[in-house]
Structures are given as C-alpha cells and as structure tokens.
Amino acid sequence: MGQHFKLRLRNSSQVVCVSSTREQFKRKGDMNNLAVKQNATVVVAMDGTIFAVDTEEALSKLDWYQTATFDQDFDVSGKAILPGFVDGHTHPVWSGDRVHEFEQKLAGATYLDIHKQGGGIGFTVAKTREASHEELEALLMTRLDRMLRQGTTLVEAKSGYGLETETELKMLRVLKSAQDKHAIDISATFLGAHSVPKGSTPAEATVDVVDKQIPAVVAARENGDIYVDNIDVFMEKGIFDSDQSEAILSKGKACGMCINFHGDELTFMGSGELGAKIGARAISHLEEVSKVGIAAMASNDVFGVLLPTTAYVLRITPPPAREMIDSGVLVALGSDFNPNAHCLSMPFVMNLAAVTMKMTLSEALVAATLNSAASLNKSDMHGSIEVGKWGNLVVVDNAQWTHVVYELVDAPIAAVFVKGEAVPM
Ligand code: NIG
Ligand code: FE
C-alpha cells in the first residue's frame, strides 16, 4: 500500500512556482524570475502542505509516486497553475452603501471634497457603528467568498470604521470569527486612526487611539477575543500628520504589531521617510511619494503596497511603480477593497498594475503573491509553490498563465484550492 495524499494536479502546461527559494523577495530586481516548470505536477499532503512539485517525467521515476493514492486527482493538461493570490490591503468589514458617492466622483467631486462633507469614511463609520456583529460578519463572509473564487487565499483586512474603542473591537471580533469559519487566511490590522471622528481634532483622536484604543485592543488580544497582526494609520493632510502617525504607529509596534500604514496617497506627507525611520514593514498607496522616500524605503526594506484601483477610481496619477522597482523597493499589490474602490479581484489589480503602472506581467504576479505575503510576514507558508508551503493553488483555464491577467473582468480561473481543498465555485 502506497502513501496517501490530499490532492494531485497532474501534467499542468506550466506550474508557475514564483520562487525557487523562499528568499526571492529579498533578491531585489529579480521579479522577472518565475521558476516555471513545464508539464508538471503538484502533490499536496494530507496536512494541506505541498509535498512535491516536479515534471511528470521526473516524478514517475520515483518509487513513492508509483504507488501513491490521492483523495482528489485531476488531469490539468492545457491549464497553468499559480500560487494563491495574496491581497495586501483591504477594508472588508463595513455596512452601508456608497454607490451614490461613485456618481458624485464621476461628476467631478474629489475624495477629500466628499470626506469634508461628512461622506466617505464618515458615512461608513456611522453605518458600521449601528450594525450588529452578525450583520457585519455575514457581509464579510460573502466578500471573502468572492475574493476566494477570484484566487485570493491570504488577505490583509483592516478595522477602521469605528474610530472609537467599542466599534473597533467589534470589527476585530468580526475578523476573528470569520477567520475561525472561513478557508481564506486573514492578516488582521488595527486601524483606529483611519480618520478623525466627528467633534474631535486630530490631536485628540491621536490621544484616544494611543491611550484608550490600543490598550483595549491589547487586552482583548490577551483574552483571546481577537488577534491583531498589524497597526495602520491614514497619514494624510487634515487627518493624521507625521508626528501623530509616528506616535500611534510606534505605540502599536511596542505592543507587538507590525507597522503597515497608508501614506502619501493624496498629498506628499513624507511617509517613506517616516516609515524607514520607525521600522515600518510596509506602506500603502504612495501615489505622491518623494525620491527621498523611495530611497529610504529601498535601503530599509520597507515594502511598498501599491493599490492601482485607487488611482483608477479617483482619476489621479498612479504611484511611480517603475521608479520604485528600479530603485530596489520591494513592491507588493493590494485591491484596497473598500466602499470607495469596490474591487475584490487580484487578477484585475494585476491588469491595472501592468497597464496603468507599467509593471511587467511577471512583476505583477510576484507583487500579488510572494511580495504581498512577505509584506505581511507570511511568506514562510504563503506566496509561492514550494514544498512545505500551503497547497494554495489557482488553476488557470489556459495553457499560458498570463491569460489570468489578460482576460479582463471574468478571469479564466478553472479552480482554486486552499490547503489542498477545492473551493466551491
Ligand atoms: O485606502 N485612504 C484611506 N482609506 C481607504 C478608503 C476608505 C474609504 O473611503 O472608506 C483607502 O483608499
Ligand atoms: Fe486603504
């Protein structure tokens, strides 16, 4: 009797491993080396990790392979296999519809115009404060299902529509209960400083986050009610300035969270410079980042999480991805899913990254897999097809993987596997 395995995907036209080593993301400028294996097979062990990746020819010579049996066994000739996508930046816990703001923006209103009138984040905060745990969890579960069907197997997810202790904790509890039930992996981020609550000043809001919200989050984490991986701030003109952002992020870091914040989105704020100084793991957006900020991020290994949906929806200039990659910044991608940018699809994000930010298709794939995983400190188990990592796999319904980026709107995805289990499509 041979060994028994959870899954075999046999004879794929191309298995795009993304990395031949776990440290590819550190070899800057190597985003065009995808380690593709042709006519290859992936075997996932019963514990959900990848057991073997090799050509059918090489595997068929091995004794264990000749006698092996599989719970699920698929011939995927004519199809390509990619690592599960990693969405490096989302705001998926909220209630309340903002489609009316989409129309206002199309008619010429800017993001900050709507924000100043109490719309935008303020609108979603009011609706999310009113919503029950159950309502928010149901909305989140549906959004996670949609992400998974588009190939996302790890997602960063933020709180930030409470702006006070009670609702921020409610959002983090919703993330924990979704994580307990859903197949997708969630990296949870505390974003109590997403905006300044009505009736408060940025200075007062900073004190509230540092002295009240963070201690409450830490206490809830210690009780096991929630988990938190990262700390975030919206560092922007009229919201949190550099000193206030530093105070909040440093306090989160001292409490064991990784710094991963919104910077230089609509206005240059010196976020690359600040991130390098305070040991940030990642900075998102960066549409207005400076040359000095880019150099500081590159020399301190601060990931740049680029969100091409934001510039697309707001009709602003996208971040200088080419300059960042060519300067040695570790570039990752995220959908920025939120009521302003309603996008749950990493294939669409890769398409935008290539067309609007001039990234190559290979760079877009590395940024949407291994680099995103590394920006969340999760590249030990996520982001590439390697023995020992999770069997998180996207089967592309084409012999060439690039079709998943090329075919707009309904990406040709034949199947998605999480830890070797097929996702219901
Ligand atoms: O990443 N810029 C700040 N936060 C979000 C938008 C959130 C919202 O508009 O609700 C972003 O784009
Ligand atoms: Fe965001």
Q: Is the CB of 101 under 6 A from ligand 1?
A: no
**How many angstroms separate the CA atoms of 180 and 199, rounded?**
36
C-alpha distances in angstroms, 287 versus 84, 249, 265, 316?
A: 27, 21, 5, 8
- Locate the ligand 1 atom nearest the alpha carbon of residue 336 and give its number: 1
Residue 155 pLDDT? 99
Judge if the beta carbon of residue 121 lies within 6 A of ligand 1.
Answer: yes
Q: Is the CB of 6 under 6 A from ligand 1?
A: no
What is the chain's pLDDT, residue by residue, as a tens digit (425 residues)? 799 999 999 999 999 999 755 455 565 557 888 999 999 999 999 999 999 999 999 999 999 999 999 999 999 999 999 999 999 999 999 999 999 999 999 999 999 999 999 999 999 999 999 999 999 999 999 999 999 999 999 999 999 999 999 999 999 999 999 999 999 999 999 999 999 999 999 999 999 999 999 999 999 999 999 999 999 999 999 999 999 999 999 999 999 999 999 999 999 999 999 999 999 999 999 999 999 999 999 999 999 999 999 999 999 999 999 999 999 999 999 999 999 999 999 999 999 999 999 999 999 999 999 999 999 999 999 999 999 999 999 999 999 999 999 999 899 999 999 999 999 99
121 CA distance to ligand 1 middle (Å): 7
The complex's ipTM works out to 0.96
Give the contacts of 88 (CB within 8 A, at least 6 positions apart).
156, 282, 284, 303, 305, 332, 333, 334, 372, 375, 376
Pocket test for ligand 1, best of 91, 110, 111, 288 (most atoms within 8 A of CB): 91
Atom 1 of ligand 1, residue of closest alpha carbon: 336
DSSP state, 29? T
> Residue 355: which residues within 8 A CB-CB, separation 6 or more?
none
pLDDT at 30: 75
Most distant CA atoms of the chain, gap in Å = 71
Whose alpha carbon is nearest atom 10 of ligand 1? 121
The response to whether residue 262 sits with its C-beta less than 6 Å from ligand 1 reads yes
* 89 in Cβ contact with 156 (< 8 Å): yes
Is the CB of 158 inside a 6 Å radius of any atom of ligand 1? no
The rounded distance, in Å, linking the Cα atoms of 344 and 334 is: 10
- Gap between the Cα atoms of 308 and 205, Å rounded: 29
pLDDT value of residue 27: 57
Is residue 335 within 6 Å of ligand 1 at its C-beta?
no
The rounded Å distance from CA 225 to ligand 2 centre is 24
Burial of 202 (0-12, 13-18, 19+ CB in 10 A): middle
Answer whether 338 contacts ligand 1 (Cβ < 6 A): yes
Task: Tell me the Ramachandran region of residue 377: left when phi exceeds 0, alpha when psi lies from -120 to 50, beta otherwise.
Answer: left
Report the separation in Å between the CA atom of 83 and the middle of ligand 2, taken as the mean of its atom positions: 24
Is residue 4 classed as helix, strand or coil in its secondary structure?
strand
Q: Single out the residue of 196, 184, 279 nearest to residue 236, CA to CA.
A: 196
pLDDT at position 194 is: 98
pLDDT at 24: 55
Instruction: Using the mean position of ligand 1's atoms as its centre, give its distance from the Cα of residue 189 in Å.
Output: 14
The whole-angstrom separation of Cα 7 and Cα 45 is 7
Concatenated DSSP letters for 366-382?
HHTTHHHHHHTT-TTTS
DSSP for 335-352, please give it: --BSSSS----HHHHHHH
Tell whether ligand 1 has an atom less than 6 A from the beta carbon of residue 310: yes
Atom nearest to 340 CA in ligand 1: 9
**Other CB atoms within 10 Å distance of the CB of residue 200:** 15
Nearest to 141 by CA among 25, 257, 133: 133
Do 336 and 372 form a contact (C-beta atoms < 8 A)? no
